[in-house]
Amino acid sequence: MEHVIKSDNPITKLKILTFIPIFIIGVGFLILVSKSKEQLEELKILQTNTYKTKNISQLIMDFQQERGLSSGFLGSKGNKFSLELRQTRKRVDNDYKKLHYNAAKLFDIRQKIDTLSISTMQAFSFYTDAIKEMQKYYFKIGMSLNDAYLLRQSKIYLNLSFLQEALGRIRGSFNGVFSNRNTLDKNLLYTVFHSKGVCDSSRERLDAIGSHKYLNALHKITTSAEYKYIENTVEKYASLQLGNQKEDPRKWFDAATGIIIQVADIEKSLTGEVNAYIKHKVAATKLQIIWQTTFFLLMFLLASWLGHKLKNDILRNIALLQQYKNAVDRSSIVSKTDKKGRITYANDKFCTISGYKRKDLTGKAHNIIRHPDMPKSAFRDMWNTILAKKPWTGIVKNRKKNGDFYIVEAIISPILNHKGEIEEFIAIRNNITDIIAFQEELEHTQEELIFRMGEIGERRSQTTALHVKRVALYSELLAKIYGLKEKEIKYLTIASPMHDIGKVGIPDEILKKSGKLTKQEWEVMQTHTDIGYGLFKDSQKPLLKAAAIIAHQHHEKYDGNGYPKGLKGEEIHIYGRITALADVFDALGSDRHYKNAWSDQKIFAFLKEERGKHFDPKLIDLFFEYLDEFLHIRDSFSSQSSREK
């Protein structure tokens, strides 16, 4: 102690100590439950999209049917398929209503078909273009998926849809060709051959990505007599050496429709599996939210109970200390001195606490009990005050006869005679050694709690506890040789273990991932600086303010290419610049789950290369100037299980 000790209220620190764990638990709960609820909302949207996909799939199938029948109707000049066409149109109309689609264009085309005022190819193209627009919804759903299973099922479904549509175009095109006995529509034939190519491509893609179950079902379809009939018919018409011979449109349409229905059945089976999977995920997510809420509620209650108990225990002790103080007030440590400061009287309690006998004290100057930690300036202030006939109050550290110390809260008052002149001085003291020790213990407890909280962030990312210890010591050494003030060095040293506390809010699948992070995962990982900053930014305590700065800025780079703010040069607080170098130096020499430790040669080369880029040039120069001391810290706080070389 190099100056007079000033009193402080331990209740404020007590509140902080009991509030921080509860606050962290609350923040963790909000983050995890928020993410679970977000996932649940995404699943519910996916359920809605799946239901809509099912309705769109049914509309496409009925639309394909209407297209094929319309081709036969137009090809036969209205003589064939009229009854089936009317029935199919009713189904399409119902499908449109379910999806709230505008059928104005469809009604216009139907009118032209009914009056034979549109060519087969024109009508065919209208239906085909409309189906393509409907299929775009499948692409949209697929683009929004981030679940590997659902993404794979989506690709299978999409290719099944392409296969079904290709078969539908073949059916419709040929139906138009076969129904027209007078001419051979080459545009429709070209559509057949192009669609056959799409059909084969879709089958090949399904062979590459489909599951064993669906490949077997598809193989059964493609080896059936009906499918062989379709393939043979396409091959036969590819030669265009047929004369006037054409297939029976009814036979053709029924055979092709049977194949399309079988492919649609595979789609329905796939949709059923997807729905079951999503329902399972929804149930699991709801259960997860319940579990998280229950767990965090229990943790909150436990932390609150422990905090309340700790607070009551400490308040009880403080109350007892207060009572002891009151008792001492009734029989305090008392001494009197003359105008020159020589002791004229000392009571028993003074003798007891100092270890001197009364005869040893009488006539001596008061500096007989002066402790070396007390500066002369403190006593000059005291004498100036009491000589001005004013009472002086302060806390003083004294030395006992045996060399030990004790701390007292002292009130020294001048005693004035009737003329207002100073006769003597009386000092009434209360022994507060235990109270000061208790206060310092609270400070040490706060420092220990902050250090342990720093370990939490590191342990979640599978980093050793020694990492935060070394980072603190490196930061302390850098701060000293940089020339920071003593208080700044203390705050930086204590708060530096909190640099990665924000990682408590990063999901395990990202934080503990052994491979390279994706762009999205990296963006999530970077938020740990904002999360850590958010924990402490509103505190008015200098130590917690320092923790907020360090958590927020330790990934900023001197050249402005860091995150989260892209600060540059001395825009970055010196705490952030120091912690950045300390953290990177230790991390490079450490084995992590995603990398092996670097050699010293490689580390030093990297630090020199990053001088003025990642790191403050002055700090890099100081680092290498005092390199032996940094290496000594590293070697002193390492273990066989966590050797970082």
Q: Per the structure block, which two tokens stand in for 371?
A: 């402790």
Q: What is the DSSP letter of 565?
A: S
Higher pLDDT, residue 393 or 604: 604
CA Rg, the chain, in Å?
A: 42
Q: Which amino acid is present at 620?
A: I
Q: Please tell me which residue, 305 or 300, carries the higher pLDDT value.
A: 305
Q: In the predicted model, is pLDDT for residue 455 greater than 60?
A: no
The string of DSSP letters for 25-86 reads HHHHHHHHHHHHHHHHHHHHHHHHHHHHHHHHHHHHHHHHHHHHHHHHHHHTTTSSSHHHHH
Q: Which pLDDT does position 6 carry in this prediction?
A: 40
β-strand partners of 370: 398
Mean pLDDT across the stretch 114-127? 92
pLDDT of 2 reads 36
Per-residue pLDDT, 377: 73
pLDDT of residue 114 exceeding 70, the answer is yes
Question: What gap in Å lies between CA 53 and CA 111, rounded to an integer?
Answer: 29
The residue ranges of DSSP E strands in 286-326, in sequence order, are none
Could you tell me the two tokens for 518?
């994706």
pLDDT band at 83 (very low <50, low <70, confident <90, very high): very high
Confidence of residue 502 (pLDDT cuts 50, 70, 90): confident
SS3 percent helix, strand, coil of the chain, rounded to 5, is: 70, 5, 20
Residue 452 is predicted with a pLDDT of 55
Report pLDDT for 320: 67
CA distance 60 to 157: 14
Contact (Cβ atoms closer than 8 angstroms) between residue 233 and residue 174: yes
pLDDT at res. 612: 94
Q: Give the pLDDT band of residue 559 (cuts 50, 70, 90).
A: very high
Q: What mean pLDDT is predicted for residues 54-62?
A: 88
Enumerate helices (H) and strands (E) in the chain, giving the number of each. Answer: 23, 5
What is the arithmetic mean of pLDDT over 474-494? 94
Whether this prediction's pTM lies above 0.85 is answered by: no
Number of Cα atoms under 13 Å in the Cβ half of residue 410: 25
Distance CA 498, CA 537 (A): 13
Report the C-alpha gap between 304 and 639 in whole angstroms.
37
Angstrom distance (rounded) from CA 453 to CA 544: 12
pLDDT in tens, 361-415: 888 777 777 788 777 777 787 788 888 888 988 788 888 878 787 788 788 898 9
CB 400 within 8 A of CB 355: yes
How high is the pLDDT of residue 462?
45
Question: Please, which residues have CB within 8 angstroms of residue 211's CB and are 6 or more apart in sequence?
Answer: 156
Residue 460 reports pLDDT greater than 50: no
Would you state the pLDDT for residue 44? Answer: 80
Of 140 and 550, the one with more pLDDT:
550
Q: Cα separation of 227 and 259, whole Å?
A: 7
Q: What is the DSSP letter of 613?
A: T
Tell whether the model's pLDDT for residue 327 goes beyond 60: no
| Mean pLDDT value of segment 485-491 | 93
Say if residues 564 and 586 touch (Cβ distance below 8 Å).
no
Check residue 642 and give its pLDDT. Answer: 40
Confidence of residue 637 (pLDDT cuts 50, 70, 90): confident
By C-alpha distance, which of 451, 505, 490 is closest to 575? Answer: 490
**CA dihedral sign, ordered 76, 80, 82, 85:** negative
pLDDT of residue 45: 77
44-48, 387-391, 539-543: the lowest-pLDDT one: 44-48
Residue 77 phi, psi (nearest 5)? 60, 35
Please give the pLDDT value at position 239: 72
Taking the mean position of all CA atoms in its chain, how far away is CA 69? 56
Residue 420: CA atoms inside 13 Å, Cβ hemisphere, count?
Answer: 3
Average pLDDT along the chain: 82
Write a three-state SS string for 167-195.
Answer: HHHHHHHHHHHHHCCCCCCHHHHHHHHHH
CA atoms within 13 A on the CB side of 321: 17
**Best CA proximity match to 397, nearest among 351, 362, 361, 431:** 431
Mean of pLDDT values over 493-506? 85
Per residue in 147-191, pLDDT (tens digit) is 888 888 888 888 888 888 889 999 988 888 888 878 878 888 888
Cα–Cα distance, 330 to 372 (Å, whole number): 30
Q: Cα torsion at 56, 58, 63, 65 (round to 10°)?
A: 160
Within 10 Å of residue 15's Cβ, how many Cβ atoms?
A: 12
pLDDT digits over 247-272, tens only?
Answer: 888 999 999 899 999 998 888 888 88
Mean pLDDT of the 296-313 span: 77
Reduced to 3 states, what is the DSSP secondary structure of residue 344?
strand
Q: Which two tokens stand for residue 291?
A: 């579990």
Q: Which domains are present in the chain?
A: 13-293 (no CATH), 332-431 (3.30.450.20), 437-642 (1.10.3210.10)
Q: How confident is the model at residue 581 (pLDDT cuts 50, 70, 90)?
A: very high
The residues near 611 (Cβ < 8 Å, ≥ 6 apart) are: 617, 620, 621
Is residue 596 predicted with pLDDT exceeding 70?
Answer: yes
One-letter amino acid identity for 26?
G
Amino acid 593: pLDDT: 65
At 328, the pLDDT band (50, 70, 90 cuts) reads very low
Nearest to 394 by CA among 406, 380, 405, 378: 378
pLDDT per position as a tens digit, 208-239: 887 888 889 889 998 998 899 998 888 888 77
Nearest to 479 by CA among 467, 466, 468, 495: 495
Q: Is the dihedral of CA 39, 40, 42, 43 positive or negative?
A: positive
Task: Give the pLDDT confidence score for residue 180 in this predicted structure.
Answer: 84
Residues 6+ apart with CB under 8 A from 307: 18, 19, 21, 22
Look at residue 417 and tell me whether its pLDDT is greater than 90. no
Separation of alpha carbons 456 and 440, rounded Å: 24
Q: Which residue has the tokens 């040789």?
A: 481
User: Over the stretch 266-296, which tens digit does the pLDDT of each residue have?
Assistant: 888 888 888 888 888 888 888 888 887 888 7
Six-digit token string for 376: 């002369």
**Coil, helix or strand at residue 431:** strand
Residue 559 CB: number of other CB atoms within 10 A? Answer: 14
**CA–CA separation, 437 vs 273, rounded Å?**
68
Amino acid identity at 542: P
pLDDT score of 240 = 64
Most confident of 56-65, 230-239, 338-347: 56-65
